[in-house]
Structure 1
Amino acid sequence: MVFNMLLQGTLETIYMVFFSGIVSLIIGFPCGILGAITSKGHIFENKTIYRILNGIINVTRSFPYIILMILLLPLSRLIIGTTIGSTATIIPLSISAAPFVARVVENCVLEVDRGVIEASESLGASNFTIIRKVIIPEALPSLVQGITLLLINLIGLSAMAGAIGGGGLGDLAIRFGYNRFKVDIMIYSVLVIILLVQGIQLTGNLISNRLKKNGR
């Protein structure tokens, strides 16, 4: 009984984290690239675009997740048809994580050695070519670390979503562990979350280190 509940909760958490991670990357990755290349002194410097994008990212990152999730309940109902469950939670998770992705990607791109970029410009490479063949490959190890942080952050947010019926391990820990005083279920849920976080962190570190070695 407990094992089946934990298995279902774990699968729901993985489901939410996986799909919200993909959606947030689709939204946040290009925003991060645009924010970096339009910053001062970069290949496509544009103060207006940078200020607008930076403002949007800062505002959306300022919202506490629980409040943002409540505000986005009508959107979840419109798209999914319900506001309860793991699928409905993907919408607020994705929107909440997208600004985080954008900021991480922007920082990773800005860390790329400007000498490599300037060398590509001197060879006549277009901005698109520089982004695709220079900036992204050079920033890849840092981007992997950023995606690792994203996934870990999403696990924490998905657990918080359990407070309002979001499903997953957080919902299991609150609904059964806390509300029904089943301390063992709460402890097991927390342990599974810890294992998921450690597994993601270890995998991310291995991939990032391998990319760094290949780069050298």
Structure 2
Amino acid sequence: MAEFFVEWGDVIWEGFLQTLTMTSISLVIAILIGLPLGILLVVTRQGGQSENRWLYQVLNWIINIIRSIPFIILLFFILPFTKLIAGTTIGVQGVIVPLVVYTAPYIARLMESALLEVDKGIVEAYQSMGISTSKIIWYVVVREARSGIILGLTIATIGLIGATAMAGLVGAGGLGDIAFQYGHLRFEPTVMYTTILVLIIMVQLIQSFGSQLAKRLKREG
């Protein structure tokens, strides 16, 4: 065991940091895009506070199309766009754009589901007091949906980690790249099993943290 970590410890640690970097940066950007999109889907849908059938249909159509494309295909499909935005299509920097494009619509749909669970009676009560739609959305609806939002983001983060592992197949770095380059191509099964174990631990920690935080927010109301 000691000999294994002497030989592979630095490689696996570097892969872990790369996976963490890809996940963190992509998640923050995807939330900044996905949360407003989720809110737009809620307020522009039929019966929403700012009903706009045309805008809702366009957003709904775009999100459904992107979500229907497997990540590995999307990764290659938007290579020119990635090159334009990031300046490269390889390494950690080159995979951020496709990860965001893949994750943001997913987060938008999860946010939409969480926001729609808020009791309409609460919203109508604040509307009757003449409070603006923007304040109702941010200070009432989003607050009431905090628990569902956290659970949704937990699911999205776990899915994002899986996507970073797939990105390793095209040299994006991270644990997926190590599992493929060393575990598969160079026939080092112990390396592959170790990277899988690290990914499992990451997912378990994120799921536990997200679940506990959601429960706490739900109790606080």
Shorter-chain TM-score range = over 0.9
* 180, 186, 192: which one aligns with 1:186: 192
How much is the aligned-residue C-alpha RMSD, in angstroms?
A: 0.9
Partner of 2:3: none
1:124-151 deviation per Cα after TM superposition (whole angstroms, max 9, x unaligned): 1110110011100001110000111111
Partner of 1:50: 56
For 2:104 and 2:217, locate their aligned partners in 1 and report how far apart those are by CA, in whole Å.
24
* 82, 87, 99: which one aligns with 1:81: 87
- AA paired with 2:94? A
Partner of 1:17: 23
1:162-200 deviation per Cα after TM superposition (whole angstroms, max 9, x unaligned): 111111000000001000000000000000000000010
Partner of 1:162: 168
Shift of 1:39: 1.2
TM-score (normalised: structure 2): 0.95
For 1:93 and 1:191, locate their aligned partners in 2 and report how far apart those are by CA, in whole Å.
22
Partner of 2:78: 72
Q: Structure 1 residue 123 and structure 2 residue 122: aligned?
A: no
Identity level (%): 43
Q: Structure 1 residue 93 and structure 2 residue 99: aligned?
A: yes
For 2:84 and 2:133, locate their aligned partners in 1 and report how far apart those are by CA, in whole Å.
39
Partner of 1:205: 211
> Which runs of 5 or more residues in structure 2 are unaligned?
1-6
1:22-68 deviation per Cα after TM superposition (whole angstroms, max 9, x unaligned): 11111111111000111111211111111111011111111111111
For 1:51 and 1:71, locate their aligned partners in 2 and report how far apart those are by CA, in whole Å.
24
TM-score (normalised: structure 1): 0.97
Partner of 1:7: 13
Runs of 4+ more than 3 Å apart: none
> Which runs of 5 or more residues in structure 1 are unaligned?
none
Shift of 1:114: 0.3
Partner of 1:171: 177
- AA paired with 1:16? M
Residue 186 of structure 2 aligns to a residue whose secondary structure is coil
For 2:42 and 2:87, locate their aligned partners in 1 and report how far apart those are by CA, in whole Å.
37
